[in-house]
């Protein structure tokens, strides 16, 4: 951590711990800030813990192409597999590929060969279902939160995801605006159920997208941070 004691005199300090690990760094953060930490936010706060304020990733609403639409089909899943060591993601990819042409699956660690972010976003904007599984190995105690989760909700797909094992403000509801899975082998099964029932998939997709926009977009996250740090906000400030 940087030495924050030289910054801002006696001004209070907000710490946003975005590390990929669930380690409690409060004491180190407070020491670095000269005991001026007024709020400590943790991206990977373990489920059931309250020693920090939960703050997973977000996604800027301004990057969403337009109003949500129902002209969607298929499943998009682009992921890195860390040289074949991301066993959970490989299991998911194999299951999705078995579904046939409805699945657009890319598993390539070489960024030069992978589709560009713009290509991915365009594909997601027309897809019915998307998948989030950030954890590399089953059983790990950290690593749920990944940018792809919030990207999927932002682009309006029905999200099939690993069940969270971190604290999340305004959580999603299984079967209503997300489908949670406990094992990677379940993902392709749940995706097929959604593809076979597009009306249900569209309901979950729209509900997840609206829940994201209300509670998890970048603007909502900024207001959440300021509120929990003790700053009074005017209702008309965005």
Please name the residue ranges forming H helices in the chain: 26-32, 87-97, 117-125, 147-154, 187-196, 198-215, 218-228
Taking phi over 0 as left and psi of -120 to 50 as alpha, with beta for the rest, 74 belongs to left
- pLDDT value, residue 106: 95
- pLDDT value, residue 236: 56
Contact 81, 107 (CB under 8 A): yes
Nearest Cα residue to 152 out of 118, 128, 181: 128
- pLDDT value, residue 232: 74
- pLDDT value, residue 171: 97
Contact 51, 37 (CB under 8 A): no
- pLDDT value, residue 139: 60
Contact 154, 59 (CB under 8 A): yes
Consecutive 10-residue averages of pLDDT for the chain (238 residues):
58 87 89 85 95 97 96 96 90 97 94 90 97 77 86 98 95 98 97 98 98 97 93 65
- pLDDT value, residue 29: 85
Contact 55, 167 (CB under 8 A): no
């Amino acid at each position: 951590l940087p030495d924050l004691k030289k910054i801002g005199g006696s001004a209070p300090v907000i710490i946003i711990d975005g590390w990929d690990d669930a380690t409690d760094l409060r004491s180190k953060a407070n020491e670095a800030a000269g005991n001026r930490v007024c709020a400590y936010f943790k991206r990977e706060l373990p489920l059931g813990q309250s020693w920090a304020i939960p703050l997973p990733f977000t996604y800027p609403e301004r990057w969403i192409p337009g109003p949500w639409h129902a002209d969607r089909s298929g499943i998009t899943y682009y992921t890195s597999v860390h040289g074949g060591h991301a066993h959970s993601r490989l299991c998911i990819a194999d299951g999705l590929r078995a579904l046939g042409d409805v699945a657009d699956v890319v598993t390539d660690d070489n960024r030069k060969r992978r589709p560009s972010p713009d290509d991915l976003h365009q594909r997601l904007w027309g897809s019915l279902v998307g998948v989030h599984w950030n954890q590399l190995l089953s059983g790990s105690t950290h690593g749920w939160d990944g940018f792809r989760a919030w990207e999927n909700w932002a682009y309006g797909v029905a999200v099939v995801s690993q069940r969270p094992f971190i604290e999340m403000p305004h959580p999603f509801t299984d079967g209503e605006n997300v489908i949670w899975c406990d094992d990677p082998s379940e993902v392709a099964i749940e995706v097929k159920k959604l593809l076979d029932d597009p009306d249900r998939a569209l309901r979950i997709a729209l509900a997840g997208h609206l829940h994201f926009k209300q509670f998890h977009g970048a603007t909502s996250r900024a207001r959440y941070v300021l509120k929990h740090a003790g700053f009074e906000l005017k209702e008309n400030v965005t």
